[in-house]
Structure 1
């Protein structure tokens, strides 16, 4: 809903620009100058900077939350604060990515509709239906592992890897859907999937229950990565 609102706002703004009179030509229609295509190096720098910034911010947030949890003596309060911290991280990381990226482009639903997709492309409604339970399971699993690790953050490879996978997922959404970079998105999503596999293995070593709760996301991201690969292949000459 928020993305559709931004799309409508951008459309209205563009309409205003096109019809703004100038001294020389009172009703001259101003043509939008297309932005130059970034170089591959610039795209990789964009991905790296966004991922590093969001990862650091989320880890610092968790470190602050760990200090809050440590200051509380009641076990129930510790549990609630810990789970609340992970709920904010897992559910709110994508909002943070929007702030980090500050994209000049706005989401275009028409773009994805025009992209050639494979015959096995899942229906659009399936994605939110799948992500809701997966995100909830991730929240619970991360909380379980964090308690087992005594709320360590920067000294825990499992927590760092888990946060990195969240960040790469957000970067993929930005690169693929907002910036419409199919090939860059392909590289990011396979990195996303690889880090997720590593995070799941590390979490399993800490707590088998935590690993089991995160594991279904591995399968779903693999499906999304395969879809991105097929979309790139079908649209490579366009």
Structure 2
């Protein structure tokens, strides 16, 4: 990190905000995962339902750690509010995908939205990487999973 002392309140706040967004997304998901989602056509490589909660929880923890690392360098970042805005935008887009796909059941709109989300997440990773290399690298699992989720969403769109 840097010479800044660990701040448990800031760390917990970063973790809480990020995990809360994940929790809200799961709330939208739960509204359809046992009803509508089981009725739609999915590709053969669709993972089992149980895999999503631990993967997303792990990803949210990793990006919360990345956000905390950036927060620790806030005094060194010329445009810190913009950096925070990029992070918050990708969180909002992440939440929005769950709402569009699972709650609204709009697969085509969700496909468009996840492509935008993936681009914003890659941009977020790049912004973080320029400030703190480990923070940017913590986004790699997120980018990989979102890339897979984009392919999955595309295939679900085509099959339905």
TM-score (norm 1): 0.59
Stretches of structure 2 lacking an aligned partner (at least 5 in a row): none
Contact 1:144 1:207 in 2 (8 A): yes
* Post-superposition offset of 1:129: 2.1
Structure 1 residues 178 and 92, CA gap change in structure 2 (3 angstroms): same
- For residues 154 and 113 of structure 1, do their structure 2 counterparts lie closer, same or farther at Cα, with a shift above 3 Å needed? farther
Shift of 1:153: 10
Change (3 A) 1:180 1:132: same
Shift of 1:214: 1.7
Larger radius of gyration: 1
The runs of 5 or more residues in structure 1 that have no matched partner are: 1-74
- In the alignment, does 2:87 pair up with 1:140? no
Q: 1:149-203: per-residue Cα shift (whole Å, max 9, x none)?
A: 2397974433211111111010000010011111111111111111000000000
| Paired residue total | 154
Q: Distance in 2 between matches of 1:115 and 1:96?
A: 23
RMSD (Å) for aligned C-alpha atoms = 2.5
Contact 1:83 1:140 in 2 (8 A): yes
SS of 2:72's partner is helix
Q: TM-score of the superposition, structure 2-length normalised?
A: 0.86
Select which of 1, 9, 12 maps to 1:84.
Answer: 12
Q: Does the Cα contact within 8 Å between 2:90 and 2:120 map onto a contact in 1?
A: yes
Q: Does 1:170 align with 2:95?
A: yes
Structure scoring higher RCO (CA < 8 A, sep ≥ 6) equals 2
